[in-house]
Structure 1
């Protein structure tokens, strides 16, 4: 199995490091090294690798901008993100845009080779610690979505006012409600979000994206 790869990264150390690593793995052949998105797009016109190692942060075109452009033009290209961003948000964003793998630059050489081989076979690659981060983020997003669906429009309105620092009497005056009604709404919201006081309520609402 011979796999051709190219790399797009604005750091010479990363590009040079890869050139030093690959001779130890004869089944992986580097065919193209690019310092930015512009040179990458030009280079792929002449040679298309099996797998592209793509940095997210580059000076002209970012990895998330390039990925959909590349896959539209070269649908068979496999893209393995190689990045310093240990972020589930970044990883999810790149996968949504069509990337096939997400690998941190701190990974061991053997992990890099394994990632290249797995992506080449059409499988998705994510390191274990990133898998857990993504899983936790997806759980938070799911919980936030569920909470939004269980809050009534009036509860959502009152929650936002609480986050904005309004007291119960101020909310009652603003929404033309009795103080008792506002207190009942607040209690209902706390029960749904599983918190015990207003401070915890505000923190959880902001964390889950239920208010701004």
Structure 2
């Protein structure tokens, strides 16, 4: 009798349809199965701490603790547990921050249908799954003077998360609800972001994000009205 054990995967995404779609793809492969599902960072950590999974398939944007801070916490507690990020964000900056935080791979939801199984197998085997563009960015980050230092790179992981949501059109209240923070805390983050990036308004942040490929023109065009901190 075979002793083969499939890779146990935690699917972490706050959208039911996305989780169902990922489950169908995963369960179509004999060497892997969905062992647990999570809709927020608290549930992710609970499943991981119970030792239920061999790999975390993690949406970058979930309610509460998520994204890079969640990746860092998972890797601090379980350094050998592979994390494969699955996100709608195609920009290399999100991928670079995820990999630097300890993720083993970065896959966009757009390409999940064709690349998910391959990515899971690669990450489960201890290797990285990243695009050539992300690999180039990672290499450039360790080469002093090889590229212009962009001001958003001075932001902390939490500040970058707030910055990303705001330039995509989220209000202070929206960001607070999404990240489970107080509006006052988000306003403080906003003020620090503007100070660190030497800018005066949300409209300037949006223009910067468009010019540097963090969001597209269509994404950011509606986020031009600044709010009071």
For residues 112-134 of structure 1, what are the alpha-carbon distances to aligned partners after superposition, in whole Å with 9 as ceiling and x for unaligned?
A: 000000001111101356556x3
Please name the residue that 1:56 is paired with: 60
Please name the residue that 1:97 is paired with: 101
- Mapped to 2, the partners of 1:115 and 1:98 lie a distance apart of 16
**Bigger Rg, structure 1 or 2:** 1
DSSP 3-state at the match of 2:37: strand
Please name the residue that 2:115 is paired with: 111
Please name the residue that 2:81 is paired with: 77
TM-score, normalization by structure 1 = 0.61
- Mapped to 2, the partners of 1:101 and 1:141 lie a distance apart of 27
Compared CA separation, residues 23 and 143, structure 1 to 2 (3 A): closer
Gaps of 5+ in 2: 150-210, 213-229
Between Structure 1 and Structure 2, how many residues are aligned?
146
Shift of 1:8: 1.0
Shift of 1:137: 7.0
Please name the residue that 2:147 is paired with: 143
Please name the residue that 1:44 is paired with: 48
Gaps of 5+ in 1: 146-205, 208-212
Of the candidates 30, 34, 56, which is equivalent to residue 30 of structure 1?
Answer: 34
For residues 54-100 of structure 1, what are the alpha-carbon distances to aligned partners after superposition, in whole Å with 9 as ceiling and x for unaligned?
A: 11111101121111111111111000000001111111101110110
Compared CA separation, residues 8 and 144, structure 1 to 2 (3 A): same
Please name the residue that 2:18 is paired with: 14
DSSP 3-state at the match of 2:64: coil
Q: Which has the higher helix share?
A: 1
Superposition CA RMSD, Å: 2.6
For residues 159-184 of structure 1, what are the alpha-carbon distances to aligned partners after superposition, in whole Å with 9 as ceiling and x for unaligned?
A: xxxxxxxxxxxxxxxxxxxxxxxxxx
